[in-house]
Structure 1
Amino acid sequence: MKEYDVASLDTFGAKTQLRVGDASYEIFKIDKVDGHARLPYSLKILLENLLRTEDGANITADHIRQLGGWDSTAAPSVEIQFTPARVLMQDFTGVPCVVDLATMREAVRDLGGDASKVNPLAPAELVIDHSVIADLFGREDAFARNVELEYERNKERYQFLRWGQTAFNEFKVVPPGTGIVHQVNIEYLARTIMERNGQAYPDTVVGTDSHTTMVNGLGVLGWGVGGIEAEAAMLGQPVSMLIPRVVGFKLSGEMPAGTTATDLVLTITEMLRKHGVVGKFVEFYGPGVGAVPLANRATIGNMSPEYGSTVAIFPIDAETIRYLELTGRDAAQVALVEAYAKEQGLWHDPDAEPDYSERLELDLGSIEPSLAGPKRPQDRVPLGAAKTLFRSALTDYVADDSVGERDLKPGVPREELPRGANGPADEASAESFPASDPPANEFSDPADEPRDLETAAVGAGGRASNPVRVTGADGVEYELDHGAVVIAAITSCTNTSNPQVMIGAALLARNAVEKGLSRKPWVKTTLAPGSKVVMDYYERAGLTPYLDKLGFNLVGYGCTTCIGNSGPLPEEVSAAVNEHDLSVVSVLSGNRNFEGRINPDVKMNYLASPPLVVAYALAGTMDIDLANEPIGEDSEGNPVYLRDIWPNSAEIQDVIAQAIGATGFSAAYADVFAGDERWQSLPTPTGDTFAWENDSTYVRKPPYFEGMQQEPSPVVDISAARVLAKLGDSVTTDHISPAGAIKADSPAGTYLAEHGVPRHEFNSYGSRRGNHEVMIRGTFANIRLRNQLVPGVEGGFTVNHLTGEQTSIYDASVAYQEAGIPLVVLAGKEYGSGSSRDWAAKGTMLLGVRAVIAESYERIHRSNLIGMGVLPLQFPVDVTAESLGLTGTETFTITGVTALNDGETPQTVQVSTDTGVEFDAVVRIDTPGEADYYRHGGILQYVLRRMIAN
């Protein structure tokens, strides 16, 4: 079966030929659809997608007309089926996808089919970048040792992925130590315009990481999704979505000297969070677009999850072409991109004013140096006010008696410190950004739950009444206090993709070294570039020694500090911080700084450009006005200010011109999928099916296809079901899906201990996503979950109605399934909001839940439930569990579901309880495709049966 070979019905006569040089490509012209010319760039891409995939069932001529006639002022209501051109994965979230594909092969074999025919139908690429930890730093062998530790910890997972690399067609793996998934994407994997099977069409992508949007800077429409959606896309299934509102963000002017892409993106993040763009597309246009380098565009696109939009896209223009050439793309590919974009009206016109739902505007000349923190990306801090706002924020992290009584650094009187995290300069912003939980992070899996700030601030009664004397490992004595910068990390895809800021950081390091400055001894300094190209141009420019001199030695190519892989602080620093309850700081060039995320010892986290990361490593404290106070002293004892060592824009551009070229990119990616000797020497299983190891605690064969027949069994009603959990409003996928560290006394911890895994090797739920036994035990186990069946109790607990005892949700599930009793979940509004965590649906199904009855759903989680064979039902309008008097102790029967066997989807089914409550629940199976998935028991079963049939 090849979904991509199915010809479009071409109702609009859009199919034609495009000739580029000596080649000819089949394309679908969007100008055949009325209304196309006024559409934003991003919706033009969706329009072409529908024209090319029109099948008369899931994608119809009416869908195409509705998109052409898009009402920019209306709330999203029209659902369409979007077929992405390819799928992008990182290792944490990609492993479960490959596990499922491997299991499908065995199911096909068991049903008499050819297992080798089970392959992704869309190109799928996985970059291993989330597993390296910055354990060692500030030494020449840091990179080599960290890679060794990475392989020791992840050998089982890497062997499995290496098998997948050899076993599946259309599936490629970029081995460890190559780069960050999103930078590898823009530098090598992204096509901008695809060429496949004689067709040319826009490159579109869904990725199993929220920052997939980085590729938006290259004109590629794409965003992050959960694993179930990614698997479906790999197997040729479209992604269901509503035609979104599109926010036009007009750019004008040019950025002032001395400002960076980080300053720009933090300003945009602040603006868009204030405006409100959650669930919307953001599209940049106007005369200022041409003045934004591609690397800056990628930085802006990368931060899309931090301001909440689905995408943040730049159209194709001359800068796009220049970047494709710079990164060594084939000349024929570059020519196709330009010709196709101009033919289809996708080439950026700086004077055009497309029809947008909402509009914002920014003069690039207004950008100023900035940071963001201490706990949210949208809380921008102008550099000139950083000291004042830090001192203001500090009051939320220390006890009342630990500031101001003695000569502390920062020893300012209590009355000078206004309350609130943002301080007086940000009062308006505080009203615009009400306190809230940070956006859910589907794909990075931080190691710790966010701290309870009230407890953390009070600590042990303000023990830090004086600066703490510490003796370092090298015998050097120093003082630590609140505000000490203990981590300075050049890290993450957001900024390490950007030559302007990376060269800027290295030149600042050179200037500092030449002035005789050095990093403070308590600062953990790390350099984790997004790709090997960075170290290549550092070497060409002769800048590596200066970074090394300041302790910014290479620690790895991958996501490190930004996702919590910062590694431990030096023992003496960690001990002092914890013993004296110090509120210390990290400064990182990343995209997320949520509480508890970066390092368990660090309470306050600031996002900054790579040059500012170096500057704060030199200063060693946030309690400094870098604009006006000296950052240190030169070799002769003279004060040195940041302005004295800040590189000028012309010098940065000169170094870029001399050190960066297509040959560097071509060399870095010449054999990118082969890996180094360590990767190639991994003992790897062979064959069309995977050789599962019974004692593996990382990768296990899931039970999705056990007992599966070639024809699906008829859908049946649900009888005598019990309630596993009764939940309130705004239960997110973070509440449902396993994430973070595995606690020793949890069901998952017990399982690992029983399998001989010592506590220090538990690792995280993210690293064990390929083991359903671990993940099912962590489903609904979030420590902040409030199950109303156990009032006053937080965490993964419920009542086992068979015994009346309180127990873990997992243990109750086992008891119910052994007794043959189906389960339901009751919930309030916005059930499943947050990131699209696939295990929120997978875990629900494996716990034995047959149906969820909620007041409303987040769209993606509702779709994911169907994809795992769980029925999403909705209370009637103005009806709730409370208004019906439901307590969760009832027995539920749901009838009318069997109407699905007749090929129709019932609008409602009847729900009744043993206590006499009856109501008609709305069936939230919203498309014909979703109905097919549910009839088959899930999307994987549906696709597998179609493969066998074809």
Structure 2
Amino acid sequence: MNSFGARDTLKVGDKSYQIYRLDAVPNTEKLPYSLKVLAENLLRNEDGSNITKDHIEAIANWDPKAEPSIEIQYTPARVVMQDFTGVPCIVDLATMREAIGDLGGKAEKVNPLAPADLVIDHSVIADLFGTADSFERNVEIEYQRNGERYQFLRWGQGAFRDFKVVPPGTGIVHQVNIEYLASVVMERDGVAYPDTCVGTDSHTTMVNGLGVLGWGVGGIEAEAAMLGQPVSMLIPRVVGFKLTGEIQPGVTATDVVLTVTEMLRKHGVVGKFVEFYGEGVAEVPLANRATLGNMSPEFGSTAAIFPIDEETISYLRFTGRNEEQLALVEAYAKEQGMWHDPSHEPAFSEYLELNLSDVVPSIAGPKRPQDRIALSDAKSTFRAQIGDYVGDDPDKKEYSKLDEAVDESFPASDPGALENGHADDAPKFESAAAHAKGRVSNPVRVKSGDRGDFELDHGAVVIAAVTSCTNTSNPEVMLGAALLARNAVEKGLASKPWVKTTMAPGSQVVHDYYEKAGLWPYLEKLGFYLVGYGCTTCIGNSGPLPEEISKAINDNDLSVAAVLSGNRNFEGRINPDVKMNYLASPPLVVAYALAGTMDFDFENQPLGTDK
């Protein structure tokens, strides 16, 4: 059906595309970008039953202040999946084929109607770390554990039309989505329309940074979408988030997203779209937009989207999309009123504003993404919170004997005497309790064959993981981490021996630019060897800690920490031995590996002294 006479032709270069013009429907020009995408979706899929003229008029006449009450049928253009939640979907399709065959029908007719891509990223575990062959060994173990599942998915790719599988060891679904799968404007059967998607993972919203509307759904909804069925939803409220100013030197996209998470959690955006707008949008690189979109589930919102602009086109060109596609995206967005105009302020249900120049370096934790801590307050906040994790241990000491010896020595830089020897004849000995005065402390001596002897304590950082599509998709923070590693190595610094250091990018692109920049050796020198291209630590696949460290933690009830460049840090999620989990930018992950403890003041304490 075409109740509004919206079908028209758009000529781009030598090609012509059929489009459904939004300006054929009165009042759509006032809508936020995200609702324009939904309006076009309804206009193009109008059938007189599921989607009627009334539904289209309802979204065109959307009242920003009204509570959601009107149900619409949204038809996503494609489906993205990861292996944990995607495998059951393919099992169901195979079962449908079997049932059709049993009934005498043609089983091969059962195929996805919407293109579906499955990226295998959730199965790799960082079992091996700290060695040059960690990646190869972890992939080998992954195939041993998941051989039958992978064989089934390979069969599925050959058996079903419009279904593709990205193999293990390639990348994380959301990063692969923005770098390769997403097109921003799709073309099928001569019709051009906005790229939209649903995914079987909550962080599908990362693609919102590219201007693609999409979010995570359950397996049944994803299967329905694959079979061409719409997703039922209420027309949502849209929160306008105005960005002004510029990010200051030393502040990263991670710091911005943790600040935004804190703001939106306080405001309350559950069930709502968040849309970024304003003059500051142009100052936000696409990689930073993807980081913000990725954290939409942590905000509580359904989606957190940026409109299309020159930065979108630049990123598409940077990631290898062809010029014909770039021309289509720009021409379509401008024709449909979807191109970002910073001088135009759409109507929103609610408004928030952030001056990017006010953002400061931050971490979040120890158990919720919205619990942002300014880096300058990290040590004092840790000290204020550690008592909640230690509990009433009658054997706990206020601070360590090693620290007491240091306090009584003069000058202050002289090492104190150890319990089992003297400073003069003792080998180099690292302690997580070295500056524990003023807080609860329970230093535990650990003997490790390949790591030497050292001392664990409450607050020791036992996992430092550069991981997750949230941050590894961002070259700025990834290069920042590598440059910090280079500078540390050149000064003779090293990661603390109790820290499990892992590097798991969301894309092989990271490996390529590290190699071309000559930065890999510095990361490896600090123990950040490649362990896999997948979710790893971010979803709890951190792998076991070294046996002697795990035993010391559990035997002495130590409250230790993980620092990761991920998106979630709920208690018990990262590793069963670790109670406190902190989200941080990749450079700060490297910094905490060097510090070895959360009881550290980066503004006033040196990470070390050069040799």
Q: CA deviation at 1:198?
A: 0.5
- Of the three residues 484, 489, 509, the one matched with 1:513 is 489
Whether the aligned pair in 2 keeps the contact of 1:86 and 1:234 (CA below 8 Å) is: yes
Matched, 1:546 2:538: no
**Residue matched to 1:355:** 347
C-alpha distance in structure 2 between counterparts of 1:64 and 1:53, whole Å: 10
Matched, 1:285 2:277: yes
Whether the aligned pair in 2 keeps the contact of 1:593 and 1:607 (CA below 8 Å) is: yes
* SS, match of residue 169 in structure 2: coil
Whether the aligned pair in 2 keeps the contact of 1:26 and 1:198 (CA below 8 Å) is: yes
- Of the three residues 57, 78, 88, the one matched with 1:96 is 88
| CA offsets 1:246-300 (integer angstroms, 9 cap, x no match) | 0000001100000000000000000000000001000000000000000000000
Matched, 1:53 2:45: yes
**Residue matched to 1:917:** none
Alignment TM-score, normalising by the size of structure 1: 0.60
C-alpha distance in structure 1 between counterparts of 2:180 and 2:524, whole Å: 28
Q: CA deviation at 1:400?
A: 3.3
C-alpha distance in structure 1 between counterparts of 2:110 and 2:289, whole Å: 37
**Residue matched to 2:475:** 499
- Of the three residues 589, 607, 610, the one matched with 1:631 is 607
Matched, 1:238 2:227: no
* SS, match of residue 390 in structure 2: coil
Code of the residue aligned with 2:581 in structure 1: it is N
Matches for 1:302-381 after TM superposition, within 5 Å: 302-381=294-373
Greater relative CO (CA pairs within 8 A, separation 6+): 2
Whether the aligned pair in 2 keeps the contact of 1:403 and 1:465 (CA below 8 Å) is: no
Matched, 1:249 2:225: no
Q: 1:472 to 1:19 in 2, by over 3 A?
A: same
Matches for 1:722-871 after TM superposition, within 5 Å: none
- Of the three residues 507, 515, 518, the one matched with 1:531 is 507
Structure having the higher Rg: 1
- Of the three residues 20, 24, 44, the one matched with 2:36 is 44
Matched, 1:193 2:185: yes
* SS, match of residue 214 in structure 1: helix
| CA offsets 1:337-360 (integer angstroms, 9 cap, x no match) | 000000000000011110100000
Gaps in structure 2 of 5+ consecutive residues: 405-439
C-alpha distance in structure 2 between counterparts of 1:597 and 1:282, whole Å: 27
Code of the residue aligned with 2:551 in structure 1: it is A
C-alpha distance in structure 2 between counterparts of 1:12 and 1:325, whole Å: 35
C-alpha distance in structure 1 between counterparts of 2:441 and 2:456, whole Å: 12
Q: CA deviation at 1:625?
A: 0.3
**Residue matched to 1:130:** 122
C-alpha distance in structure 1 between counterparts of 2:552 and 2:455, whole Å: 10
**Residue matched to 1:272:** 264
Code of the residue aligned with 1:112 in structure 2: it is G
Which is worse superposed, 164-173 or 469-478? Answer: 469-478
Q: 1:409 to 1:532 in 2, by over 3 A?
A: farther
**Residue matched to 1:596:** 572
Code of the residue aligned with 1:21 in structure 2: it is G
C-alpha distance in structure 2 between counterparts of 1:360 and 1:74, whole Å: 18
Whether the aligned pair in 1 keeps the contact of 2:441 and 2:458 (CA below 8 Å) is: no
C-alpha distance in structure 2 between counterparts of 1:94 and 1:466, whole Å: 45
**Residue matched to 1:781:** none
Matched, 1:620 2:596: yes
Code of the residue aligned with 2:305 in structure 1: it is I
* SS, match of residue 241 in structure 2: strand
C-alpha distance in structure 2 between counterparts of 1:59 and 1:167, whole Å: 32
| CA offsets 1:51-77 (integer angstroms, 9 cap, x no match) | 000000010000000100001101000
Q: CA deviation at 1:117?
A: 1.2
- Of the three residues 28, 45, 60, the one matched with 1:68 is 60
Whether the aligned pair in 2 keeps the contact of 1:404 and 1:411 (CA below 8 Å) is: no
Whether the aligned pair in 2 keeps the contact of 1:473 and 1:572 (CA below 8 Å) is: no
C-alpha distance in structure 2 between counterparts of 1:399 and 1:369, whole Å: 30
Q: CA deviation at 1:472?
A: 1.3
Matches for 1:629-668 after TM superposition, within 5 Å: 629-635=605-611
**Residue matched to 1:845:** none
C-alpha distance in structure 1 between counterparts of 2:146 and 2:170, whole Å: 16
C-alpha distance in structure 2 between counterparts of 1:402 and 1:472, whole Å: 28
Matched, 1:390 2:382: yes
* SS, match of residue 397 in structure 1: helix
* SS, match of residue 396 in structure 1: helix
Count how many residue pairs are aligned between Structure 1 and Structure 2. Answer: 576
| CA offsets 1:913-937 (integer angstroms, 9 cap, x no match) | xxxxxxxxxxxxxxxxxxxxxxxxx
* SS, match of residue 155 in structure 1: helix
Code of the residue aligned with 2:318 in structure 1: it is L
Matched, 1:560 2:536: yes
**CA root-mean-square deviation:** 1.3
Q: CA deviation at 1:399?
A: 2.2
Gaps in structure 1 of 5+ consecutive residues: 1-8, 413-463, 636-950
Whether the aligned pair in 1 keeps the contact of 2:442 and 2:458 (CA below 8 Å) is: no
Code of the residue aligned with 1:208 in structure 2: it is T
C-alpha distance in structure 2 between counterparts of 1:467 and 1:348, whole Å: 56
Q: 1:327 to 1:410 in 2, by over 3 A?
A: farther
* SS, match of residue 88 in structure 1: strand
- Of the three residues 199, 209, 213, the one matched with 1:207 is 199
- Of the three residues 447, 450, 463, the one matched with 1:487 is 463
C-alpha distance in structure 1 between counterparts of 2:303 and 2:155, whole Å: 33
Alignment TM-score, normalising by the size of structure 2: 0.93
Q: 1:80 to 1:35 in 2, by over 3 A?
A: same
- Of the three residues 237, 240, 262, the one matched with 2:254 is 262
Whether the aligned pair in 1 keeps the contact of 2:364 and 2:373 (CA below 8 Å) is: yes
Matched, 1:176 2:168: yes
Q: CA deviation at 1:498?
A: 0.3
Code of the residue aligned with 1:206 in structure 2: it is V
**Residue matched to 2:22:** 30
| CA offsets 1:349-395 (integer angstroms, 9 cap, x no match) | 01111010000000000010000000000000100000000111111
Code of the residue aligned with 1:369 in structure 2: it is P
C-alpha distance in structure 2 between counterparts of 1:309 and 1:259, whole Å: 25
Q: 1:236 to 1:475 in 2, by over 3 A?
A: closer
Q: CA deviation at 1:473?
A: 2.6
Code of the residue aligned with 2:481 in structure 1: it is A
Identity of aligned residues (%): 75
- Of the three residues 75, 80, 84, the one matched with 1:83 is 75
Q: 1:548 to 1:280 in 2, by over 3 A?
A: same
* SS, match of residue 533 in structure 1: helix
Q: CA deviation at 1:406?
A: 3.6
C-alpha distance in structure 2 between counterparts of 1:410 and 1:32, whole Å: 76
C-alpha distance in structure 1 between counterparts of 2:449 and 2:224, whole Å: 52
Q: 1:344 to 1:411 in 2, by over 3 A?
A: farther
C-alpha distance in structure 2 between counterparts of 1:142 and 1:168, whole Å: 34
Q: CA deviation at 1:305?
A: 0.3
Q: CA deviation at 1:562?
A: 0.6
Q: CA deviation at 1:628?
A: 1.1
| CA offsets 1:29-55 (integer angstroms, 9 cap, x no match) | 011111101100000000000000000
Code of the residue aligned with 1:135 in structure 2: it is D
Whether the aligned pair in 2 keeps the contact of 1:182 and 1:211 (CA below 8 Å) is: yes
Q: 1:364 to 1:163 in 2, by over 3 A?
A: same
Matched, 1:226 2:205: no
Matched, 1:109 2:85: no
Q: 1:229 to 1:581 in 2, by over 3 A?
A: same
Q: 1:238 to 1:515 in 2, by over 3 A?
A: same
C-alpha distance in structure 2 between counterparts of 1:104 and 1:159, whole Å: 19
**Residue matched to 2:557:** 581
C-alpha distance in structure 1 between counterparts of 2:567 and 2:397, whole Å: 36
Whether the aligned pair in 1 keeps the contact of 2:441 and 2:457 (CA below 8 Å) is: no
Whether the aligned pair in 1 keeps the contact of 2:36 and 2:338 (CA below 8 Å) is: yes
**Residue matched to 2:443:** 467
C-alpha distance in structure 2 between counterparts of 1:16 and 1:410, whole Å: 78
